[in-house]
Structure 1
């Protein structure tokens, strides 16, 4: 999903109808601020996606744009996987 700071793309791994892994494969890294925010936001979002088994996860404080793009991309991946 395109955000104002750049695209965010999430890849999920599904085994037996369950999300076993979620990974942001594309996210903003254009400047030091992006790198700093996403160094904690992306792992948190990945973990929450697997834990909650849905896109109904909390956004990461201070990373609203990345979180929004992540949630939209995650929902798209879930839809494609028919979950």
Structure 2
């Protein structure tokens, strides 16, 4: 019994709170009562007539301090206000990110050696080397192919020695001296062209 009474009382209190919160005066009613709207001061006795009471509102008897409950009215927004479907123009957005440097590729010349041709291409972002690709490497024999693969694995790619050191000053790959030297010469020419 006690729980039922508490539940009914709680329901009545929450319903009353919702009605009070939702039934607050909107800006039209505040303006009709002569109160400040949107932070604009109202000067007393500024020649304005006292506001008229809304239709159906009762006058409070003298000595009654309670104000009459305002009635809800539906007012249209002023014409200068954008409708819900349109947006007011906004200031142009500025990006806080710095401009991305442009990427470009530069190809070195073909450098010949006793085992074949070597040609290197570099990709730069701004002035930084970000990738290296061997376009041509000696593949005449199984041995030259294996040595070329060792040189390519060590020097080329985004994580190769060229990207790490940002230069053509590289250690020679053991057993692949001619291919290493040709690779460095083509690489240095590409770096010089990019300069």
The answer (yes or no) to whether the contact 1:11–1:74 under 8 Å persists in 2 is yes
Match among 52, 69, 74 for residue 165 of structure 2: 52
Q: Distance in 1 between matches of 2:175 and 2:131?
A: 24
* 1:41 paired residue number: 151
Structure with higher strand content: 1
Using the TM superposition, give the Cα deviation of residue 50 of structure 1 relative to its aligned residue in structure 2, in angstroms.
0.9
Q: Distance in 1 between matches of 2:149 and 2:134?
A: 11
Match among 67, 70, 77 for residue 183 of structure 2: 70
The answer (yes or no) to whether the contact 1:59–1:68 under 8 Å persists in 2 is yes
Q: Distance in 1 between matches of 2:113 and 2:121?
A: 17
Give the unaligned 5+ runs of structure 1: none
* TM-score under structure 1 length normalisation: 0.93
Give the unaligned 5+ runs of structure 2: 1-110
* Higher-Rg member (1/2): 2
Q: Distance in 1 between matches of 2:151 and 2:168?
A: 15
Per-residue Cα deviation, 1:36-64 (whole angstroms, up to 9, x for no partner): 11222211022111110000111111110
* TM-score under structure 2 length normalisation: 0.41
Structure with higher helix content: 1
Q: Distance in 2 between matches of 1:41 and 1:74?
A: 13
Q: How many residues align?
A: 82
User: Over the residues paired in the alignment, what is the CA RMSD in angstroms?
Assistant: 0.8
The answer (yes or no) to whether the contact 1:14–1:20 under 8 Å persists in 2 is yes
Structure 1 segments of 4 or more deviating over 6 A? none
